[in-house]
Amino acid sequence: MAKSYNTDFADALKLLYREVQSRRQWASNTWTDTGAEQEVKMLEYACGPGTVSLALAPFVSKVVGLDVSEGMVNEYNKNAREAGFAEKMAGHKGDLLADTVSAEISGPEFSDFDIVCVSMALHHFEDPELALKRVAERLKKGGVSLIVDLVPDHNHEHHSHELKKDFPAVETIKTHGFTAEDMRKLYESAGLGLNFDYQVFEEPFVFHKNGKTHSKTIFIARAERQ
């Protein structure tokens, strides 16, 4: 989906960018403009084209994108260059959920983050609990985990059937959304039990394909590493 992702989800990605950027003070109190000479390192896992990275790049010293898809990593790096962030924003191919995580993404460049975000990807992972644990390992103590994902949709079977016709990647959806309680439990079992919060975006995530309009309700959650 890498080539058409930004076009298919253009309005939804604008919404994501605005909603994340407007909540940055809620998300974390550590940004480059909130303290003297503060270094702030962020990781966006399953970054895709990097909308969340682009929204927060002005307020961090470094942002690393990781994705299993080389096509997505190329889009991420193209978007970083076009937005003028190439010096501090770089995408890499990598899978933190593999049985053995490759040495290439295990060095200091890929650890001790202040913020780790996973946006619109937790529902694709076989084991969201493992994913949050692997994300937690990359955070500094007191660092913030941000998750953006789907609020459970009671009509998801009908919607999934409709969506599958236009987006084959829907086949890879494993969980049809996470409630606040689901997120609290996932965070706690990953050692991310501090200062949990969960907010639902007021506007729906709307996207269009082949003349059809789809709409999803999205949440953003935060918690800190103990």
Site string (151-190) toward ligand SAM, x via CB under 6 A: ----------------------------------------
Cα 143 vs. chain centroid, distance in angstroms? 15
Widest pairwise Cα distance in the chain:
52
β-bridge pairing 194-200 and 89-93: unpaired
Nearest to 190 by CA among 220, 224, 148: 224
Position of minimal CB gap to ligand SAM: 48
Contacts to ligand SAM from residues 112-141, by CB under 6 A? 119-121, 124
Q: Of the two residues 141 and 212, which places its CB atom closer to ligand SAM in the complex? A: 212
Q: Of the two residues 47 and 132, which places its CB atom closer to ligand SAM in the complex? A: 47
Contacts to ligand SAM from residues 41-60, by CB under 6 A? 46-48, 51-52
Q: Of the two residues 37 and 64, which places its CB atom closer to ligand SAM in the complex? A: 64
Cβ atoms of 19 and 52 closer than 8 Å: no
Nearest to 39 by CA among 113, 100, 94: 113
Give the Cα separation of 47 and 85 in Å (integer): 15
Q: How many residues bind ligand SAM (CB under 6 A)?
A: 15
Give yes or no for residue 218 binding ligand SAM (CB under 6 A).
no
Give the Cα separation of 176 and 173 in Å (integer): 7
Give the Cα separation of 127 and 143 in Å (integer): 22
Site string (60-99) toward ligand SAM, x via CB under 6 A: -------xxx--x----------------------x-x--
In the complex, the residues that contact ligand SAM under the rule CB under 6 A are: 46-48, 51-52, 67-69, 72, 95, 97, 119-121, 124
